[in-house]
Amino acid sequence: MTQTNRGSLAFETMDLRLLNVLQSHAAPAASTNGFEIHTCQRSVAVLYGFEALGAARTQFPADGALEQFEGAAAYAFLLRICCGLESKLVAETEIFGQIKQAWRNFSSGACGGSRLAQQLSPWMQHLFRDAKEIRAQYLGSLGSASYGSQVRRLLGDDAAAGPTLLIGAGQLAQAIAPWLTGSELWLSNRTAARARELATELGKRSPERPVRVLDGIEGELAAWRGAHQIVICVPPDVDSDRLRMAAWRERTGSGGRIIHLGAGAEGAASWKDLPELVSLGALFGMLQAHSDVRRRQIERARAACREKALLRGLGANASHPHSWEDLAAFNVA
Ligand SMILES: NC(=O)c1ccc[n+]([C@@H]2O[C@H](COP(=O)([O-])OP(=O)(O)OC[C@H]3O[C@@H](n4cnc5c(N)ncnc54)[C@H](OP(=O)(O)O)[C@@H]3O)[C@@H](O)[C@H]2O)c1
């Protein structure tokens, strides 16, 4: 069968073999004409059929370690992403919301009526359903593994010791802000209007909670001198970071923490002299100290992703084994 024939046949029959996923650590130079998901760890393009695959591949930079998944392997990979099993913070929950949002944007935006949106739509619905099921069955009892819950855990009782300054109002800051309870929350963001939007959202959830939006870099620096703990959810910036560190050193109180989630190993280097700093890398390191139970549960969830993908390959609506032969045929443990 030619690839073109396979493409049109698939549209009618929902053939999982035609699902293709490209993954790179670097963003594509231009549109891949696929459904794209961009996170801080990867860029993913989801395509259906083989016609557009070659052109999509060329959009990714050669040094981005491009990976390609096909058919059931592509579905299993997407499931693992949705379940947080491909995240550095394993089993984190925020990624699921990010993917759902990306799909909403794609399927209701300019690409909404496209053939690709129609072809992918049933698979995305299956994907979200399967991910929810796997999370509930295997990962629910792991304890919350969101960035917010980890930050909260890190701050511990200190969270109530004085004001918390949150820098940023993007996806990460929005996910973390609801966890920063226990003391007054100060919000600062390059675009103050976004910080105000976040404050309004937080106010709707907990009207009694004290939240203050700071104005400009001067307002932020004054807060560095007065906050007890600081959570940074923006990328490193050499000039602003120098001012921030100087302001932190000028504060009158002691103790507290700076949790810098915008900085990986390189970005955190300039902060290394501050003993109160916890970088994103350090946070991942702490989480790698998984208990055996946690590791086993994660392994089971990974196996469930494989199994779901194989069953979906048997028929789009199959999500449970039909018979022992089905499992035997696919050698699912
Ligand atoms: N999302 C995650 O799950 C996740 C996980 C781990 C680490 N991170 C890291 O956390 C940081 C924020 O990620 P995000 O997902 O929240 O991104 P996002 O939704 O795009 O938001 C970016 C945030 O950073 C601010 N920002 C961007 N460039 C800036 C600059 N040059 N100077 C000052 N502020 C700047 C933005 O301010 P404006 O509103 O003014 O644009 C916004 O508050 C990134 O460094 C990312 O790598 C994210």
Q: Global pTM?
A: 0.66
Ligand 1, atom 19, lies closest to the CA of: 170
CA distance 315 to 11: 14
Atom of ligand 1 nearest to the CA of 191: 40
Residue 320 scores a pLDDT above 80 = no
Of 233, 241, 266, 287, the residue with max ligand 1 atoms within 8 A of its CB, to mutate for a pocket test, comes to 233
Mean pLDDT over residues 43-61, rounded?
Answer: 95
10-14, 74-78, 191-195, 235-239: range with lowest mean pLDDT: 10-14
At 1 the pLDDT is: 39
Distance 167 CA to ligand 1 centre (A): 9
Segment 224-279, tens digit of pLDDT:
999 999 999 999 998 999 999 999 999 988 889 999 998 776 677 788 888 888 88
Give Cβ neighbours of residue 199 (< 8 Å, ≥ 6 apart).
187, 211, 212, 213
At 130 the pLDDT is: 96
- 8 Å CB contact between 91 and 84: yes
Task: Output the DSSP codes for 154-206.
Answer: HHGGGGGSS-EEEE--SHHHHHHGGG--SS-EEEE-SSHHHHHHHHHHHHHH-
Do the bridges between strand 19-24 and strand 43-48 make them parallel or antiparallel, or are there none, so unpaired? antiparallel
Distance 41 CA to ligand 1 centre (A): 13
Which protein residues touch ligand 1 with a CB less than 6 Å away? 40, 94, 168-173, 189-191, 194, 233-235, 237, 261-262, 280
Summary mean pLDDT of the chain: 86
Mean pLDDT over residues 4-9, rounded?
Answer: 45
Residue 12 scores a pLDDT above 50 = no
Residue 5 scores a pLDDT above 50 = no
